[in-house]
Chains A and B, each alone.
Chain A
Amino acid sequence: DIQMTQSPSSLSASVGDRVTITCQASHDIRNSLNWYQQKPGKAPNLLIYDAFNLATGVPSRFSGSGSGTDFNFTISSLQPEDFATYYCQQYQNLPPGFGPGTKVDIK
């Protein structure tokens, strides 16, 4: 199975900050990477697919980049509704696997 890691595991930030999360795959996954946001008690919400494509209805302050084994997810200007946990997910090979998550909370 392809292993996914994320860093940091958590971070504290203020409204308006630029936030970047990294995700690394144990093998080359090309651009087969998604990013999800999850709030407590809710199902995850797809934000970015194919490494850099914004899902429908997702604000443009969210962006993704990278290919191969190293990927970044950026929130350009953190908003109050963005405090949540973020997961990367690879789908190059079965089983599709998720990173351990990055919790973004209020500084």
Chain B
Amino acid sequence: QVHLVQSGAEVKKPGSSVKVSCKASGGTFSSYSMSWVRQAPGQGLEWVGRIIPMFGLANYAQKFQGRVTITADESTSTAYMELSSLRFEDTAVYYCARGESGHEFSFHYWGQGTLVTVSS
């Protein structure tokens, strides 16, 4: 059974950066796409981007292009999402999520979420 554990809550100033981690256990890390999805308070779900650790290949939603970097460390089975130039509207819970073989965007597994608060 796949288990995703994320880093703890963060409070950041506008204009700064945040880096959230997601450690996977149970199953093969490298060959599965890991996505990041965020949810602003009281709002819906928004896909941020994903990485395929085996290839180091990342794709990002156009909205976040230039501000987000998703990386993965195969040696520790950990994915990272770094968001820079933070704005108040980036306040959200950020989830890592993973699918199954052949269903990389059907998110069977989710981390517990990391609340990122942008506040002056």
Which residues of A does B touch, CB under 8 Å? 1, 34, 36, 38, 43-46, 49-50, 55-56, 87, 89, 91, 94-101
Contact = CB atoms under 8 A, between A and B. Distances in A.
- Between B46, B62, B106, B112, the greatest number of chain A beta carbons within 10 A of the residue's beta carbon is seen for B106
Contact of B45 (A46, A49, A50, A87): A87
B111 interface: yes
A43 B106 contact: no
B88 interface: no
B26 interface: no
A42 to B, nearest CB: 8
B44 A46 contact: no
A49 B47 contact: no
Contacts, number: 51
10 contacts: A1-B62, A34-B106, A34-B107, A43-B112, A44-B45, A46-B108, A89-B107, A95-B62, A98-B44, A98-B47
Nearest to A92: B105
A27 to B, nearest CB: 16
Given A43-B110, A44-B110, A46-B108, A96 B103 contact: no
Contact of B47 (A43, A50, A55, A95): A95
Given A49-B103, A91-B105, A98 B110 contact: no
B108 A55 contact: yes
